[in-house]
Amino acid sequence: MNIPVNRPSVGQEELRGVEEVFKTGWLGMGSVVFEFENLLKKYLGARNVIAVNTGTSALHIALYSMGIKSGDEVILPSLTFASSPQAVLMCAAKVVFCDIEEDTLNMCVADVKKKITRKTKAIMPVHYSGLPCDMNSILALAKKHGLRVVEDAAHAFGSIYNGKKIGSFGDATCFSFDPIKLITCGEGGAVVTDDDTLAEKIVRKRILGIDKDTYNRYKHKRNWFYEVRELGYRYHMSNINAAIGIAQMDKIEGFLKRKREISAMYDEGLKDVKMIGLIKKDYADVAPFNYIIKVKGNKRDELMTFLHDKGVDTGVHYIPNHTQPFFKQHRTSLPKTEKIAGQILTLPLYCDMTDKDVGHVVSSIREFFNP
């Protein structure tokens, strides 16, 4: 059996939570979702948390609720999952891709400065692999130009920047709780914001523009009356997904500890492999989402094949979006991104991975470079 790149860590606690929801008969959005939101508020130190059905929905509804529209531009890195730019396009706005820093793989603030025009309305930093972006510089730049900041923190739940958890810096921070994130809801996401007015808009828009004053019908009071105030979407989270998330929140410190241990083992085991470049992180502040290495000498694809034959699955996170067919009208020259794209390789990293598994991955890589 191969060692997978990622795998959720779920057990009887999650099953019991789902079973309790089934017993109530209230499977959609209800009190369990609100309980999950309150847990997230406490953990993140956040003013407002709105749970939604996916991380992509979180990005879209945050941008949409800010009024991002046709004719507007949003700057974001190309080295991210396709959901990031697609959320911009869902608002009919223009995607403007920026380059990255080679040492962190996060957005290059200097390139963001060059991309700002009179049409720019927002910046979307992506905290790649859990490593926070240079938020001080990004926020200062946004303030100077009157721009909104929507953080794509799909990789960074639990990460810390300047002593505070990611989730309290930009106008809105968007998380993902899909099956391979630090915690999972099966599928899910959340928007975090200190802006009460923005939060109210998002609350309405996540369920078809229904005014929040009618939400008592989602608290086991089946009032028949409701008012649709504006355009919205069916983006709300279900009690089933929230129950899984609540059980996962009880385990988060153990998850963080284990993923940091595995990452440190990789660092130690690969630090002297000359053909491998490591991304340096302070694991005290980083919640590792995945473990990325940079393979030099055009050997990345050969290494992938070799590891597969050794029973080790790997991945590439990500194929830059500006090279994808769907985004051809947004193509631009991003030298650092294009260079890194041919080097990056994602190694297995998940909480149930054993020390023996990690050792096998490391020894296999070392064998490839030193047969």
Active-site residues: which are they? 181
Q: Are 86 and 314 in contact (CB under 8 A)?
A: no
Residue 269: phi, psi to the nearest 5? -75, -20
Query: What sign does the dihedral 71-73-78-80 (CA atoms) show?
Result: negative
DSSP for 207-243 reads BTTB-GGGGGGGTT-------B-S---B-BPPHHHHH
H or E segment to which residue 22 belongs: helix 12-24
Strand, coil or helix: 73: strand
202: its two tokens: 């998002």
Closest CA to 195 of 176, 163, 169, 215: 169
> 189-193 and 172-176 as β-strands: parallel, antiparallel, unpaired?
antiparallel
Return the percent helix, strand and coil in the chain, to nearest 5: 40, 15, 40
Euclidean distance between CA atoms 126 and 112, whole angstroms: 13
Euclidean distance between CA atoms 130 and 216, whole angstroms: 37
Radius of gyration from C-alpha coordinates of the chain:
21
Alpha-helical (H) ranges within 146-184 are: none
What angle do helix axes 55-65 and 83-90 make, rounded to 10 degrees? 40
Strand, coil or helix: 9: coil
Alpha-helical (H) ranges within 25-134 are: 31-44, 55-65, 83-90, 109-115
Closest CA to 125 of 137, 196, 94, 117: 137
